[in-house]
A and B are shown apart, each in its own frame.
Chain A
């Protein structure tokens, strides 16, 4: 009997696991890059790549923000 018929569902294949892991890591990496917590800044400072991190952040951030709002409404 197939695993599915026994009620045991098969997990993702190795390739799928690699792809999913890469996706999850990328999502987290982008999150930490855009909303960098203080400890990451400290580590970057000590490891000597703080300015590269800041540059990267400055390049990506504008894509997720804007200042061109048409009219400033009361925002509730």
Chain B
């Protein structure tokens, strides 16, 4: 039942993305390049285009407060039907293409068959990340805000993360829509089909750079043996949406060179805007790397047919087209930020979210990271790094020396992609040397897979063929897949638990222990109760409790108080009746735990112990201590804080 619901909702939603993508494609009118596209690339582009645009549509609907299940379901269903009706031919053709490629690939020698089979298995293993509990800021913000939007039917700053809500909300709006369609599980797994679509764009880009079948399979292997990609599966984080949109942006930027007119430049700009919305940190790597590819495309177009002056004259309309696409993509985000924060460019210029000044490590560590960068990106386990690039990239990179040398490097897309990725990464580490987190610049980083795979593929066809050396390459690849797959078992992949969950043998508590951890709290809380909670368990609170929870201003005020008496008065005065103390190293909880020794006489604190967690219920014995803040449904089903004294 779970399985059926999950599949139906995901498929319906994917077709809805396709439907809106087709509509956008038709409006844009990219007719002159349609004939040059394979059905698979066209289908993937439509899906990713629709995926980006649909999130923007949801954003505006939620901003207007119309994000009710009936609106989401009707819109999704209509779009899904139009998506199937208008694309069924290319869907079937793409299916035939993909099965054909797989069938042909499996006629290769045994070792390669093993590589292809294990890569497919690794890729399919993603579905077993459903058995994983969302974690970190996945459950703290991305899924939590989606849950609030789905339940309150509107978008407002998330209590505790008010300023953070100013980021682009691409992935979050998809999560909200899938939750509104009744399947939080589909929301948890949706990054998977999006990542597959991104992988297809990367393969298509590699194909344009001259890679053949073996090289493209190696790219897929390197992508899915990158822990930075795998460890995000089922995490509730939104980074992979940006990666997929980023690959689409790079692909269309690479097509600028051989397309007539500026529609491809426009499309590249649009995808760039959507990718930046999905992950704002991409701005550092994306602008230089995309600029290199687009400029190269514009300047090297029709090299024999026009003079340098004529080529430079193309730059202005190209830049305008790219900027136009970019602005259209980000316009809904600017509207959202103007409406919610009175600053369309937030979080920039607010100085509150820490985007503009991030320092994660001390000088010694930064120095070590910069001096060992390829190794840090392959083996690093630094704070908040969360995964690495595949070791195959490092292992196979020297093989690039044996890739065919282009007669004029400036006409080689492979060369341009390598320069583009390297420049993007250099910009990142020049501006953000202390932030080693591949997910912050994933699309740019993973471009480096292409040259590594190109070198490896080239060496397979060098003469005389060395069977031993080729066998070593295949063996290293197979062993890396096996090592990654088995290492991720019960870390990112949970086949047993997922299977039991899908057939109804495992409870949600087993899959998400935090759901049970918050069960007592949820059952004790009255509707609209204020809960003094500021941690990653937010997602598992009732949607009314998340909306009425601790705000960022309250957290700052609370931390600034000096005595336990002041802090207890503050908690009670702000209307908090429930104070959970989970066994989590968190500043507010540490303070509350320490203050348990100094409870004022006017306050009765009832302690309910649940394993290592404690839930405090506060009751005032003195009538002079009254709550000043409450939470009520001013515009149902949404909840808002209000001042009790002035109501």
Binding site for B on A (CB under 8 A): 3, 8-12, 17, 20-21, 23-25, 27-28, 30-32, 34-40, 61, 63-76
Chain A residue at minimum C-beta to C-beta distance from B468: A17
Nearest neighbor of A67 in chain B, beta-carbon distance: B383
Q: Are A71 and B396 also in contact (CB < 8 A) when A21-B472, A28-B480 are? A: no
**Cβ contacts under 8 Å, A10 to chain B:** 462-463
The complex places the Cα of A49 from the Cα of B288 at a distance, in Å, of 49
Q: Are B483 and A25 in contact, CB atoms less than 8 angstroms apart?
A: no
- Assess the A11–B486 pair: CB atoms within 8 A: no
Nearest neighbor of B225 in chain A, beta-carbon distance: A31
Report yes or no: B398 in contact with A64, Cβ–Cβ below 8 A: no
- Name the B residues within 8 Å of A40 (CB-CB): 483
CB distance from A74 to the nearest CB of B (A): 6
Q: How far is the CA of A30 from the CA of B236 in the complex (A)?
A: 30
Q: A64-B379, A70-B362 are in contact. Are A20 and B398 (CB under 8 A)?
A: yes
Q: A28–B479 contact, CB under 8 A?
A: yes
Report B-chain residues with C-beta under 8 Å of the C-beta of A30.
Answer: 379, 391
B391 to chain A: which residues have CB within 8 Å? 27-28, 30-31
Q: Is B354 an interface residue (CB 8 A)?
A: yes
A–B pairs, 20, beta carbons within 8 Å: A3-B463, A11-B459, A12-B459, A12-B462, A20-B398, A21-B469, A27-B395, A28-B476, A31-B391, A35-B227, A35-B483, A37-B487, A37-B489, A38-B489, A39-B486, A61-B381, A64-B376, A67-B383, A69-B383, A75-B437
Residues of A within 8 A of B296 (CB): none
Report whether B486 and A38 are in contact in the complex, using a CB–CB cutoff of 8 Å.
yes
Contact A24 B396 (CB under 8 A): yes
**At the interface, yes or no: B382 with Cβ under 8 Å from chain A?**
yes
* Contact between A23 and B395, CB atoms less than 8 A apart: yes
Our pick among B227, B365, B384 for the contact of A75 (Cβ within 8 Å) is B384
Which among A24, A63, A75, A76 is the interface contact of B472 at CB below 8 angstroms? A24
Is the CB of B124 closer than 8 A to any CB of chain A? Answer: no
Chain B: which residue is nearest A36 at the CB level?
B487
B residues in contact with A68, CB < 8 Å: 361-362, 364-365
Q: Is B281 an interface residue (CB 8 A)?
A: yes
What mask results when residues 275 to 297 of chain B are scored 1 for a CB within 8 Å of chain A, else 0?
00001110000000000000000
In the bound complex, do residue B469 and residue A11 qualify as a contact, i.e. CB atoms below 8 Å apart? Answer: yes
Q: What mask results when residues 291 to 311 of chain B are scored 1 for a CB within 8 Å of chain A, else 0? A: 000000000000000000000
Q: Which listed residue (A12, A66, A75) contacts B469, Cβ 8 A?
A: A12
Cα separation A57 to B448 with both chains bound (whole Å) = 28
Instruction: Please name the 4 residue pairs, one residue from A and one from B, whose CB atoms are nearest each other, closest first.
Output: A11-B462, A37-B486, A27-B395, A31-B391
Q: Which of B359, B402, B469, B483 contacts A32 (CB 8 A)?
A: B483
List the A side residues contacting B489 at CB < 8 Å: 37-38
State whether the Cβ of B512 lies closer than 8 Å to any Cβ in chain A. Answer: no
Most buried by B among A10, A37, A61, A67: A37
Report the Cα distance A17→B359, complex, angstroms.
42
Bound-state Cα–Cα, A27 to B399, Å = 14
